[in-house]
Amino acid sequence: ADAVFLQSASTGPGFFVAWAGALSYAMQIYFDFSGYSDMAIGISYMFGVRLPLNFNSPYKARSIIDFWRRWHMTLSRFLRDYLYYPLGGNRRGRARRYLNLLITMLLGGLWHGANWTFVIWGGLHGLYLALNHAFRSALKVSRHGPRIAAALETKAGRVMGIAVTFVLVVVAWVYFRAPDVATANGILQGMLGLNGVQLPSRYLPHLGGVGSALSAMGIEFVPIAGEVFGSVRQILLLIVLMAIVFVLPNINDLMRSHEPAIAKPEDVNKDSSFPTWIPGYASLIVTATLGGAALWAILNLHESRFIYFNF
């Protein structure tokens, strides 16, 4: 993520490089936030203090409304109670409601830092929320509304909702991460394919006739450093991280029978096919192994920057 956003400050990245950088940052900030929320809850619980659930698999959200019920849940409630409601909430008509959402999220973006990138990030989410609420309102009055709502509840509809929500969130993350608006715009142009579609030239000898076919389709093979895009380790790691995000349960789901955090009943996935955590020798071995691996990583791997200390 750092390599792509640093490079993009001077040159507009191609399609694959831009998406690799955006997705890498989406994973980086996800695990950064998820890990520190879990640590805060766990350390507090050791002292007999139960904190509210603050992070609940937000990339599994099926809408932007659902996303903000899962991502930084305590901040969402703060913005709702101390900005959105005092502005009038949804009590003064539909247009005023959408304006209140936009103002709330703009201020929420500014809360993260005095930079236009954060303001745009907040504005995008305000726009997303307004459109999401408008869509729900339209379904209620449309004669096709029940049919569309039923389609969205099917497995295909749920997958589509998750995919669309995730892409919108990733687009907004580009502004959140970029040092300035120009860099963010360059990366978004790359994600749209406006800077061309390039693959590392080192792939070409291994592709045979496929490489010629890709070249005929307009895909260029150019020198791209492995730390920017294209190394096997990088691609596999991104796939593994995304599989963890979208397939596996979160800690609150695994610990649901022990109620480690203060959470509403609907925030806990009671129907999860994964078993709940039970103290025992197997749990001891797994926990000790993970703890040992974490200590080894701290002592032997390069420093990993904690993103959310900024906020």
Catalytic residues: 112
Please classify residue 293 by burial: count the beta carbons closer than 10 Å to its beta carbon, then call 0-12 exposed, 13-18 middle and 19+ buried.
exposed
* Furthest C-alpha separation in the chain: 64
Bridge pairing between strands 220-222 and 198-200? parallel
CA 149 from centroid of its chain's CA atoms: 25
Half-sphere exposure of 222 (CA within 13 A, CB side): 14
Q: How far apart are CA 185 and CA 262, in angstroms?
A: 40
What pairs with residue 222 in β-bridges? 200
Task: Please report, for residues 36, 243, 248, 308, the alpha-carbon distance to residue 238 in angstroms, rounded to integers and kept in the order given.
Answer: 20, 9, 15, 21
Distance between CA 16 and CA 221 in Å, rounded? 12
